[in-house]
Amino acid sequence: MTETIASSQLAVSPPHSWRIPDTHFEEVLKHPWYRAVVELTDVFHFATVDFWRQRGVRAMYLPITTGSVSSPMGLGSDSSPVKVSVEGVPTYLADSMQFLLEYGCRLAEGGCYYVMPSFRGEAMDERHLCQFFHSEAEIVGDLDDVKTVVQDYLRHLARALLEHCPDTVRDAAGGTGHLTALAEDDVFTSLTFRDAVKLLGDDPRYVTEVAPGSRCLTHAGEREIMARLGEFTWVTHHDLLSVPFYQATAQDDPGAARNGDLLFGIGETVGCGERHATADAVREALRLHQVEESEYAWYLRMRELRPLRTSGFGLGVERFLLWALRHDDIRDLPLLLRINGQQVNP
């Protein structure tokens, strides 16, 4: 697991200016840490466009409002949606537009992607932002296909950072060996959630049951897995009721989902999964997860019109940059703070 380096040993380190939100923007204007963040973000963006263009995957521009959140209240939800009113009409800010990427796969057969903001109802802390950026994609294929794509994408990003801004990374992170390892070595390993639970001895410090039949790893559990198996460890086939309804059911194990989380940096940084191909499969999943079918009628209708097996992933951009910078507090990444329940300018 990548270890962070003490700020005193680095040429560039964050000022932690998020602690005083009203003057944060002033510190951003003068501090070299944020110039480094801007440079890495730019490299990340054009490398993302280059990667997908090489593969014939189409970019999609999508709205940020939705009536169909991908983390609905119900079993398997891991975040709170942000509800707003637009001209008196209740709606939600997008927690993810994965559903519309599934829609896009029926228009662009090579798959589609975007980099866009996501909104979450939880409070900001060292691992979570109220508003963050998602690099998400959906392809025609299964879980194994999308895992391979994620690994290729991460290698591509690491090579881009090494090519275009190695000195910046070295000044802020203390070195570039972590980028080289990802770019050149076979760093990925994988185990099922059930095997992870066995490895951790079902220790309540590492594994928690959020509902009957619905377990998940704690942050300490993620760190322990990385400590034992190394960074870039996939944990796949989670308990079916611990993930949202749209994750497909494993054919050989009806109690598990066809999904995976990739652990690196501060923990889960990529989430991926295979989707249900048919409307009937989605209906059964909605029933099991206790989610109202009426709220996803269009999602069902899409499969009636065009059944299709797709899989997709979401990479937290700030979490990836945090790993690249070998840092451990995500609040040091945003150029402009957005805090739920608080007005922050600009």
Residue type, 42: D
Per-residue pLDDT, 8:
67
What is the radius of gyration, based on Cα positions, of the chain? 20
Residue, of 262 and 70, whose pLDDT is higher? 262
What is the C-alpha separation between 61 and 257, in angstroms, rounded? 29
In this prediction, residues 28-34 reach a mean pLDDT of 98
Q: Is residue 77 scored above 90 in pLDDT?
A: no
Q: Is residue 202 scored above 60 in pLDDT?
A: yes
What is the C-alpha separation between 60 and 52, in angstroms, rounded? 12
Structure confidence by residue, pLDDT tens digits, 136-154: 999 999 999 999 999 999 9
Q: Is residue 104 scored above 70 in pLDDT?
A: yes
Q: Is residue 73 scored above 90 in pLDDT?
A: no
Of 49-58, 75-84, 115-124, 174-183, give the lowest mean pLDDT range: 75-84
> In the 3-class helix/strand/coil scheme, how is 50-80 assigned residue by residue?
HHHHHCCCEECCCCCEECCCCCCCCCCCCCC
Structure confidence by residue, pLDDT tens digits, 152-195: 999 999 999 999 999 999 999 999 999 999 999 999 999 999 99
| Single pTM value for the model | 0.96
| 217-221-226 Cα angle (round to 5) | 120
Per-residue pLDDT, 3:
59
In this prediction, residues 51-63 reach a mean pLDDT of 98
Structural contact between residues 96 and 314, judged by C-beta atoms closer than 8 angstroms = yes
In this prediction, residues 230-249 reach a mean pLDDT of 97
What is the C-alpha separation between 58 and 66, in angstroms, rounded? 21
Average pLDDT, the chain: 96
Q: How confident is the model at residue 211 (pLDDT cuts 50, 70, 90)?
A: confident
Per-residue pLDDT, 23:
97
Structure confidence by residue, pLDDT tens digits, 273-330: 999 999 999 999 999 999 999 989 999 999 999 999 999 999 999 999 999 999 999 9
Answer yes or no: CATH 3.40.50.850 is held by domain 7-332. Answer: no
Backbone angles phi, psi at 3, to 5 degrees: -100, 145
